[in-house]
């Protein structure tokens, strides 16, 4: 069935990403430094090193969302975004040489420290149940449809799924995975929905262009979130 193919395609590229995303958010939420009110001062941590790579590593570890190079440069006191990119490359190279369990990945226009795929089964033992509750099959299906067909109305989503989708859409909007992007020109001017930067983040995508191409979906819909542009490492 169409719905099953939607979920299958999304699961192949996203299952481990979602587990990794919720693991970081559950584990590191209290240490977030992105909101302007840090819970801790990294310079007060025992064993803190002053070298730039250690500072960058601590920053990426504590961050609960991808960081733009401009943000990294500002926090670390780099002279430019180019210097921040150089540090990112250097740290990534260090991880590869040492066969570290983490790697730096470009996600949703920023950079994030994520666990390697081979360690996801271990994380899943602890967090998979929570992930299944927070991102259900119905939500994945609706997100996939919206990603490929956006901007899209609730009626169009329901026509494809074959079931009422009001509650699923409402939940996705509350979770900031879908957002209202405008109104259709048809009778009644129904609300149009599109995916968000957070959607790209939890599925590990630089942009919607990275979604799998299929004959049934066609090419992914246009990016409706202006903050989801890709950057070069």
Structural domains in the chain, CATH included, are 2-12+127-210 (1.10.10.10), 14-120 (1.10.10.10)
Dist CA 165 CA 150 (whole Å): 16
Q: What pLDDT was estimated at residue 155? A: 94
Q: What pLDDT was estimated at residue 104? A: 84
Tokens of 152: 């899209």
Q: What pLDDT was estimated at residue 119? A: 67
Tell me the pLDDT of the chain (233 aa) as tens digits. Answer: 555 555 555 555 555 555 455 545 544 444 433 344 444 444 444 443 447 888 888 888 888 788 888 988 988 888 888 888 889 988 888 888 887 777 888 887 788 887 777 766 666 666 555 554 477 888 989 998 999 999 999 999 999 999 999 999 999 998 889 999 999 988 889 999 999 988 887 777 778 887 877 665 555 555 444 443 333 33
Q: What pLDDT was estimated at residue 165? A: 92
Q: What pLDDT was estimated at residue 194? A: 94
φ and ψ of 109, to 5 deg: 85, 0
Strands 178-183 and 191-195, bridge-based pairing: antiparallel
On whether the pTM is more than 0.85, the answer is no
Q: What pLDDT was estimated at residue 5? A: 55
Residue among 76, 113, 65 at smallest CA distance from 228: 65
φ and ψ of 193, to 5 deg: -115, 150
Q: What pLDDT was estimated at residue 49? A: 40
Q: What pLDDT was estimated at residue 156? A: 94
């Amino acid at each position: 069935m169409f719905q099953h193919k939607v979920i299958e395609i999304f699961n192949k590229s996203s299952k481990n990403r979602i587990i990794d995303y919720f693991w970081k958010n559950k584990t590191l939420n209290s240490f977030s430094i992105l909101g302007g009110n840090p819970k801790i001062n990294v310079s007060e941590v025992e064993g803190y090193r002053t070298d730039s790579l250690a500072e960058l590593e601590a920053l990426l570890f504590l961050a609960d969302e991808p960081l733009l190079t401009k943000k990294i440069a500002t926090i670390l006191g780099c002279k430019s975004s180019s210097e921040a990119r150089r540090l990112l490359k250097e740290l990534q190279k260090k991880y590869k040489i040492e066969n570290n369990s983490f790697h730096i990945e470009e996600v949703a226009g920023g950079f994030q420290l994520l666990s390697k795929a081979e360690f996801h089964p271990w994380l899943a033992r602890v967090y998979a149940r929570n992930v299944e509750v927070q991102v259900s099959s119905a939500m994945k299906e609706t997100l996939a449809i919206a990603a490929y067909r956006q901007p899209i109305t609730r009626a169009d989503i329901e026509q494809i799924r074959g079931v009422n989708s009001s509650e699923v859409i409402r939940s996705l909007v509350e979770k900031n995975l879908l957002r209202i992007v405008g109104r259709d020109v048809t009778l009644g001017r129904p609300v149009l929905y599109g995916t968000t930067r957070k959607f790209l983040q939890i599925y590990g995508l630089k942009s919607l262009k990275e979604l799998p191409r299929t004959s049934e979906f066609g090419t992914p819909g246009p990016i409706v979130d202006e903050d989801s542009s890709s950057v070069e490492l």
